[in-house]
Each structure stands twice: as structure tokens, then as C-alpha cells.
């Protein structure tokens, strides 16, 4: 089956349907997806965008966290995307290599991989570097899911405990509601709660000012995304941030064309404001659908983040429209949890249990509160 040249030869499969990349990238008839129930895996070390359509044919795709083809293309057929962390060696092109190259636990080159250096896994300093720097950075890449739109630390902690928090977006308005902390302090605390993307917004409207503020934010934590408004200056700033390896979230998008320009400039995330469009009698979800389709068709390496979410239906509609992420106020998160029939069912089940416990207690000569669920006999 024909795969891109850089697709590694060991494309693994569990059961039938495995794949091996032919030498030299020889062409072959178009491949088909495996039979139902067959799980196919592939590991890809490259970053060529042309590999995306081939990778999308696998069920599980493992990618290099520091460079890979556009994720929307790979995920378009439902592939699960994973990343990996190398143990016991580091490539000299790794973003962290310059900071550790003189450490005593960085050893001689790996004979099989000349650009890699072996590492002494017994060293405690290596363990700290791996867990504190490498793993969090690998997990901080593009994600699908739900972000919390707030700067309130307790709200963030609450949703994180639910196990559904994938990232956080902030802005000057939300920060203005916090007390007793600087913006930098708030961002550092948030980045300690979630390893997902945390958006920090610039307030300057000139290019140099945006760059100055964004570079400062990017140094605070590995999972910071610099939030830049859609404008001519914003586009230039995002292009320059991309050249420096700083990830960005383009905010205040109100049309698909604006989103397309931001994606071309290098924005990692595109944030259309659906609620504000609804407020002026436009259909906010139209922009989400158009932009998600543009990203997929043209294989743009960016993700659509639905913003200005006003109610739970916005979250459902955004997911159905192809939005990769929705950033949601805490109140809407709470509304998503609740349903009147769920509340009614909980009350009914509790009432039924209380009646059953009283009956069991009467039969066994116990007080009702002494009957435990695990001890009850029917």
C-alpha cells in the first residue's frame, strides 16, 4: 500500500490490516480502510503535510510532538492521535537540547542515530528534566476538547477536578474580575492546574508592542498561547511569532475570511465569536461551519476554537459544525452537567432506596440508618 516516503517502515497493526511503507515511497493502488473491528497503528517521525491523507487512513497515529502534518487532516476520518517521548536519548534538534548538552548525564552519540545523544537514565537530574520539561511540553500541543473561558482560579480548579478541562482562555476583561494577583501570577497558577493550552492576550495594538508582550507571556510557561486580535498588525505579529516558534490564538474573528487570513499567517488557534454574531442577528455557527471546512479542505495546520459561547446549545452546535474546541464560561459548564430529568431521577432513586431500606430494617430488626447498600438483600 502506498504511503509517503517519510512514513516509517514499521506501521504496526493489531490483528489483520497492518501496513509497511515500501522503500523509496513507491506508488501503489489507493488503500482502503480496514475491516470493522481491525485496529491499525502507525508511527510517523516526519512533518511533511503531504503525509496527512495517508496517515488519516489509520485508526491510531503516533506523531513527533515537535513537528507533524496538520492535525485536522489526520483526524478527518476519526483517527486517534497520540504523541511519544523518547527515553534514554535526545535528538540534537530537540528544543530542550541546547539547555542540557553540557550536563554529565548527556552521553556519547547513538551509533544508530548520529543526530541523537544517549542519556543516563539512572541520573536523578535526567528524571527531573524528563518529567518537568519534556513530558509537559509534549502534552501541551494542539488538543481537541473543552476550554474554560475565565481567569477565576477556583472555577478552573473545579472544572479540572471534573476531568473535562482541556485548556483555558483568558483576556483583560476576565482578568479584571480577579483580585490580589498580577496577570503573570494568574497565568502561572493556571498553567500549573492544566497542562493544556492557556491563552494570554496582548493589549498592545502595534506590532512591536504585541511582540514584546507575547514574548514575555511565552516565557512564563511551556503551554502559553499568545492571544492576538484580528487586524493587519495582528497578522504581522502572528507571522513573526510563528517564525519564532511561539504559538498563537487569533481572537475577535467574525468571518471565515478573517479566519483564513489568520491561519495563513500562522495562528495555532482561530477564535470566532459566535455569541456576538448572534447578538446582531447573524448566524454565528455559519462561520464555524465555513471555517472548519476551509481548514479541512486546504489542510491548514490550525484548529477552530468556538468562542463567545452563551449557552449549552452553542457547545453542541459547535461540535456538530466541526469546531475542534469550544471555550466555555463556568456557568455554561454547570448548565451542561444538569438536566431536569437527571435531577428528578436522582431524587426518585433516593426516595426508592429510603423506602427499601426502611422495609429491610423492619424485617431484620435494625434501624434504617444501619442498613448499608452493600448489605441489603432483596
Write out the chain's pLDDT in tens, 378 residues: 333 433 333 333 332 233 333 333 434 334 434 434 447 888 888 878 788 888 888 888 888 877 777 776 787 677 777 877 777 888 887 778 888 989 999 998 888 777 888 888 888 998 888 877 777 666 655 446 788 998 889 999 999 999 888 899 988 888 877 788 899 999 999 999 998 899 999 999 999 999 999 999 999 999 999 999 999 999 999 999 999 999 999 999 999 999 999 999 999 999 999 999 999 999 999 999 999 999 988 878 899 999 999 999 999 999 989 899 999 999 999 999 999 999 999 999 989 888 887 887 777 766 766 666 655 554
Residue 212 lies inside a defined structural domain of this protein:
yes
- Which structural domain range is residue 347 located in? 340-370
Residue 377 lies inside a defined structural domain of this protein:
no
Residue 378 lies inside a defined structural domain of this protein:
no
Displacement of CA 6 from its chain's centroid (Å): 25
DSSP state of 30: P
Last residue of a domain, one of 107, 139, 171: 139
b/e burial code for range 4-13 (CB count within 10 A of at least 16 → b): beebeeebbb
Which member of 101, 177, 219, 227 is catalytic?
Answer: 227
Q: Which three cell numbers stand for residue 256?
A: 471565515
DSSP state of 229: E
298 shares its domain with 155: yes
170 shares its domain with 266: yes
Using alpha carbons, select from 269, 271, 289, 294 the residue that is nearest to residue 73.
Answer: 294
Active site includes 227? Answer: yes
DSSP state of 110: E
Residue 193 lies inside a defined structural domain of this protein:
yes
Cβ within 8 Å of residue 351, ≥6 positions away: none
CATH number at residue 280: 3.20.20.70
Please indicate, yes or no, whether the overall pTM of this predicted structure exceeds 0.85. no
Sign of CA pseudo-dihedral 343, 344, 345, 349 = positive
Last residue of a domain, one of 103, 124, 139: 139
Sign of CA pseudo-dihedral 48, 52, 53, 55 = positive
192 shares its domain with 251: yes
Give the total number of structural domains in the chain. 4
Amino acid at each position: 500500500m502506498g504511503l509517503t516516503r517519510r512514513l516509517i517502515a514499521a506501521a504496526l497493526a493489531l490483528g489483520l490490516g497492518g501496513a509497511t511503507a515500501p522503500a523509496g515511497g513507491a506508488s501503489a493502488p489507493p488503500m482502503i480502510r480496514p475491516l470493522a473491528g481491525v485496529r491499525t497503528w502507525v508511527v510517523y517521525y516526519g512533518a511533511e503535510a503531504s503525509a496527512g491523507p495517508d496517515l488519516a487512513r489509520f485508526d491510531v497515529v503516533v506523531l513527533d510532538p515537535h513537528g507533524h502534518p496538520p492535525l485536522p487532516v489526520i483526524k478527518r476520518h476519526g483517527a486517534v492521535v497520540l504523541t511519544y517521548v523518547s527515553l534514554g536519548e535526545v535528538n540534537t534538534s530537540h528544543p530542550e537540547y541546547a539547555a542540557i548538552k553540557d550536563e554529565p548525564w548527556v552521553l556519547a552519540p547513538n551509533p544508530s542515530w548520529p543526530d541523537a545523544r544517549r542519556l543516563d537514565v539512572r541520573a536523578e537530574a535526567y528524571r527531573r528534566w524528563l518529567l518537568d520539561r519534556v513530558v509537559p511540553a509534549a502534552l501541551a500541543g494542539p488538543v481537541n476538547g473543552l476550554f474554560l473561558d475565565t481567569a477565576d482560579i477556583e472555577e478552573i480548579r473545579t472544572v479540572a477536578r471534573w476531568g473535562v478541562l482541556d485548556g483555558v482562555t483568558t483576556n483583560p476583561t476576565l482578568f479584571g474580575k480577579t483580585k490580589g494577583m498580577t496577570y503573570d501570577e494568574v497565568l502561572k497558577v493556571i498553567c500549573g492546574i492544566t497542562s493544556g493550552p492557556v491563552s494570554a492576550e496582548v493589549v498592545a495594538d502595534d506590532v512591536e508592542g504585541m511582540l514584546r508582550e507575547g514574548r514575555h507571556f511565552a516565557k512564563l510557561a511551556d503551554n502559553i498561547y499568545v492571544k492576538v486580535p484580528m487586524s493587519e498588525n495582528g497578522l504581522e505579529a502572528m507571522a513573526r511569532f510563528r517564525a519564532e516558534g511561539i504559538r498563537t490564538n487569533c481572537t475577535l474573528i467574525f468571518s471565515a475570511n478573517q479566519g483564513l487570513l489568520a491561519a495563513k499567517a500562522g495562528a495555532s488557534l482561530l477564535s470566532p465569536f459566535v455569541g456576538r454574531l448572534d447578538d446582531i442577528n447573524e448566524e454565528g455557527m455559519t462561520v464555524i461551519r465555513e471555517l472548519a471546512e476551509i481548514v479541512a479542505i486546504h489542510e491548514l495546520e490550525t484548529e477552530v476554537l468556538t468562542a463567545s459561547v452563551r449557552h449549552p446549545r452553542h457547545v453542541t452546535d459547535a461540535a456538530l459544525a466541526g469546531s475542534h474546541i469550544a471555550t466555555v464560561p463556568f456557568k455554561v459548564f454547570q448548565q451542561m452537567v444538569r438536566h431536569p430529568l437527571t435531577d428528578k431521577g436522582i431524587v426518585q432513586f433516593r426516595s426508592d432506596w429510603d423506602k427499601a431500606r426502611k422495609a429491610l430494617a423492619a424485617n431484620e430488626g435494625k434501624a434504617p440508618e444501619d442498613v448499608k447498600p452493600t448489605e441489603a438483600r432483596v
